[in-house]
Each structure stands twice: as structure tokens, then as C-alpha cells.
Structure 1
Amino acid sequence: MTGPHPPGPVRPDTLTLLGTGDSKGVPRFWCACPVCAEARGAHGQPGVNRRTRTATLLRSGGQSALLDAGPDTHAGLARLSGPLVPDAVFISHAHNDHLLGLGDLLDYVRYADGRLRVYAPPEVVPQIAARFPYAFPAGEAGPVRPIPPRGVPVGGVTVRAFRVPHGANGHSHAYRLDRPAGAGEQGWSAAVVTDAIGIPLELARTWLRGPGGAGLDTLLLGTSFEDESGVPLTGRSVYDVREALALPWARAARQVILTHLSHGVDVRRAAHLPPGWGYARDDLTVPLARPPATPNL
């Protein structure tokens, strides 16, 4: 007789950034600026600045979850090495660049008899129903449920949502991810804040710090432009890189990945970012455990 099989390798908790562009993607189809020109690539290869709309894949303990589902989500999932149906999908707000990919996922549920848990903040659920009425038959429970205040477990991670100011666009929601320490596993804390500007200090103290007030282990932060200081604040909706570099809670994080990037950011020019900071790129996988060294971003 043979003994029990040894346990397989422990896979680290990760975020895979399937889409890292702003609402219009890069390149803009109408634009000939240097960043868009580079993003179009050459000889059939895309440039390093090519970016699709927002979708982030969390993996933990053999489970996975999508954090937002922009219009390019189908393509992002299709680029993975094998088929994957996420165990859960979270929608932060009802803007097209975070929501329209949900149509493909709802089709999987409705027409392929698939099983999928979809969550959104309570106020966002009716907005999703208005966008996809065919998936919410009258008299039936819809496929999207409110995110409970205690959060939703995904593997060993708890996913919670919190409301953040979105400038000229009103408000959005960000995600807080927590993995408690235990059973030989190192705990960590992270946040995914793609669409926000002007976060109050008290809100940051509550949601954008680790246990005991320490900095987050990982912060994914939206910065659509390098410098929008020439644009009236009343017309803006997302931090720029200049502002992000001055945020105390961002500076306190162990690693910061700047995402939601427009054609106003050229990722080839990253020398001005401090150690532990980097620009996102589509399909980048970020380890979430406290890193022994700064990852290669």
C-alpha cells in the first residue's frame, strides 16, 4: 500500500491585471499621439502601452474572483492559459468600463446553465438590472446580489467594498482584500482603488491601512494621467500620478501599482517612481503576500 499523496505546492494569492486602461483604452482608436502610436505596435506585436479596460482577477486557495468586468473582459479571460470561470464577480460601479463585460458572464449563466455568484454594492444592483434587463426576469431573483458588509470569502481572502469619491462622476467603490495569518500562512492586506480622487483622510485611515495602522501590503491605485494640474478639479474624476506620489497612505504601502492608465501615461517613463512603485500592464500578475523583495513590475 502506498501512503497518502503529499500535498501539492501552495500557490500564492495573486492579482492578475487583465485590463489596466482607463475608460477609453489605449490606443484611443481616433488618436495619433506618441503613446497611442507606440501602443499600436509594429510587425503584429502590440506596444507596451497597449491597455484594455478594467478587469482584475484575484486567485486564492484554488478559487478566483473578478474585480470588475470591463468591455474587454472576454478577451482577457481568453488570454489565460486554460479555461476559467471565476467563482465570484464583483462590480464596483455601473460605468461602462467596469461593467459591460458582465454581459458575457450573464450569458454564461442564463444560456449555458452556468453557476456564477455576482456581487455589487446595494445601490449598484438596480443599475445593473437596468443595463441588463433580460437577465432579471420579472418575478425571479436576479443574478446579482448585494455585497454583505462582512465581505465575501474567496479562498482564504475576504473581499469587501467601500464607497469612495469619484470627483465629477459622483462616487464609486473600491475593494479591500484581507488574508488573516494562520496555519503557517502569512497574512496580508491590500486595496484596489481604480476610480477615486479626494479620498478623505478619515476614510483612508479606516480602509487604506493595514492592521495596527501599518501601510497596506499592496495598493492598486488608479492614476489616469501623469499631471492634470492644468485641468479644473471640478472636471476631474481620478487621481493623477503627481497626486498619488503625495498621498500618505499610498506612500506607506509596501508595493503600489498604478493602473487605470490613459494615453496620458507612457509606462516607458517610470524612472520617477519610487522603489516599490510601478505602472500596471495588461496580464501582469502581482503576488499579494508580503514580498521578501520588491517584485519586478
Structure 2
Amino acid sequence: MDFTLTLLGTGTSHGVPMIGCDCPVCHSTDPRDRHLRAAAWVHTDDTSVLIDVGPDLREQVIRQHVMRVDAVFLTHTHADHLHGIDDLRGFTRLCRQALPLYARKHDTDFIRNHFDYIFNDHDFKHGWFIPRIELRDLDGQDLIRVGALPIQPIPLVHGHGHAMGYRIGNVAYLTDCSAIPESSYPLLQGLDAMVIDGLRWTPHYTHLCFEQAIAEAKRLQVPKTYLTHLTHDIAYAENQAKLPPGVFLAYDGLDITGTL
């Protein structure tokens, strides 16, 4: 069975173009140089899952005509991956039921504390005008099934903290990481495609740079690798030509077809 991983956003926490920047990339007319905050949509004809709900969520789901969401999976709680959570009310209002949101327990605790208005409305006095979310803790590396989709959590290192990547069938989505723990490599064998953090050419302490991401692709022997979480240092036309065969710059709206 086939599924599609659509990249809703492929940029850093600033997005591209950046506020107040006059650089050539921020003024580029190439649509591949425009990057909303990082997020993804995994979907089949019958199942629809979001990975991350950043501040550009409303624009992203309208652009891609996302009409239904069955579950949300969070990579981590940084603002560029979480602060669109209120816009999930658009989906819960339509379906009239709570939306499962999966994350590490540390992250579900954070969400419950920082967005308490969502979870303290026990009397339903605000009706469907706030998102109705059911927080679900990811228990280690157990596979989660949502409809037709088997979703495998992949623990990652993100600077001094942690993030979660996800594998669906033969495709992995690994944004916001500075390293892959040794214990996660067995979960990433046999991939046909991988979306991985590749901030820019120069190193960064909380993200993989291009050289590091390409090395991970070689280690895992992935035929197609897409670099995401791109900064405004990276012009598509100029930099795609510098990448080795099988490695591509991601861009918003890119569809990657996978097999379950």
C-alpha cells in the first residue's frame, strides 16, 4: 500500500524569507526558496496524520487542502513546531471529537502546562471554540498504528535536548537533530527515502549541517535523501547543483511517495 509524505514546511524557526532581511534568498522569486516552519503531512486515501503543528499550520493545511486529521505526532516542543496548536480547533470543530496528539511524556507534560486552557475546560463551556486534544505519551520505541499508517518513533539528539523522528513504511522523517543515537540505527534500516535535518553547509551545535546529513545518508545507504530545516543561506538553484547524487534540497509542498 502506498502513502504520501507531503512537506508542509521546510524552514528554520525564522522561516524564509526572514523578517527584516534583505539577502538575495529572502528576496528570491524561486518558490523553492520560500520555507515555512518545518512540518509534514502523512496521508493515504483513508488516513491523515500531521507531524508538528508550528505557527504556519493554518496556511500550510489550507494550501495543501488538508480536510481531516486523524492524529498529530510531535517531534519536540520548540515554538516553531508547536505554537500552531490552537489551529487544530478547525479540525476538532468539524469532526466533533478529540484529536490524539502523540509525544514523549516530557513533551505532553509541557503542552499540558503551557496550553492549560485546552485541558482545563472540563465543563465544555467553550464548546468547540478551543481545540479538543487527547494527549498520548509515546512509550519508548513502540510502533503506533493510526488507521492504515504504522508510525515508528525514532529517538534523536537535538543539541543538549532530544527530539523524535518518525518512520512510516520505507520513509523516515528526521527533522531537528544534531545526532542519531546508536540505538536508533536499527530502526532506520532498509529505507528508500529519508527527510533529515540539514540546516546549511556550515556546522551548528543543535542541527546537522549538510556534510553531516549526507554522511548519515551514506551510513544508512538511503537512495533518496531530502535536506530540510533550511536557512536563508541556501538558494535552491545554486546549492542543489553542489549536492551528491541522491541528495536533494527539500521545499514546501514536496510530495514523497512511500510504501507500507
TM-score (norm 1): 0.76
Q: For 1:119-138, what aligned pairs fall within 5 Å after superposition?
A: 119-137=102-120
**Percent identical:** 32
Q: CA deviation at 1:83?
A: 5.1
Hey, what does 2:126 align to over in structure 1?
none
Q: CA deviation at 1:13?
A: 0.8
Instruction: Give the distance between the partners of 2:78 and 2:249, measured in 1 at CA.
Output: 23
Give 5+ residue unaligned stretches, structure 2: 124-131
Q: CA deviation at 1:194?
A: 0.4
Other structure's SS at 2:86 match: helix
Q: CA deviation at 1:203?
A: 2.7
Other structure's SS at 2:248 match: strand
User: Is residue 62 from structure 1 mapped to residue 66 from structure 2 by the alignment?
Assistant: no
Q: CA deviation at 1:34?
A: 1.7
Instruction: Please provide the CA RMSD for this pair.
Output: 2.5
- Once the two structures are overlaid, the 10-residue window that deviates more, 89-98 or 53-62, is 53-62
Q: CA deviation at 1:138?
A: 7.0
Q: CA deviation at 1:110?
A: 6.7
Tell whether the 8 Å contact from 1:152 to 1:159 is kept in structure 2 after alignment.
Answer: yes
- Which of 216, 220, 223 is the matching residue for 2:195? 220
Other structure's SS at 2:40 match: strand
- Which of 14, 28, 37 is the matching residue for 2:18? 28
Q: CA deviation at 1:160?
A: 2.3
Other structure's SS at 1:48 match: helix
Give, as a single letter, the amino acid of the residue that structure 2 aligns with 1:253.
V
Other structure's SS at 1:135 match: helix
Look at both structures and tell me which one has the larger radius of gyration over its CA atoms.
1
Instruction: Give the distance between the partners of 2:166 and 2:67, measured in 1 at CA.
Output: 22
Other structure's SS at 1:124 match: helix
Give 5+ residue unaligned stretches, structure 1: 1-9, 179-188, 211-215, 291-297
Q: Summarize deviations over 1:74-121 as a string: whole Å, max 9, x none.
A: 1111012x4512111111111011111121104643798344222112
How many positions carry a matched residue from both structures?
250
TM-score (norm 2): 0.86
Instruction: Give the distance between the partners of 1:115 and 1:138, measured in 2 at CA.
Output: 13
CA distance 1:60–1:142, shift in 2 (3 Å): closer
Instruction: Give the distance between the partners of 1:91 and 1:173, measured in 2 at CA.
Output: 7
Q: For 1:105-144, what aligned pairs fall within 5 Å after superposition?
A: 105-106=88-89, 108-109=91-92, 113-137=96-120, 143-144=134-135
Give, as a single letter, the amino acid of the residue that structure 2 aligns with 1:207.
L
Hey, what does 2:68 align to over in structure 1?
85
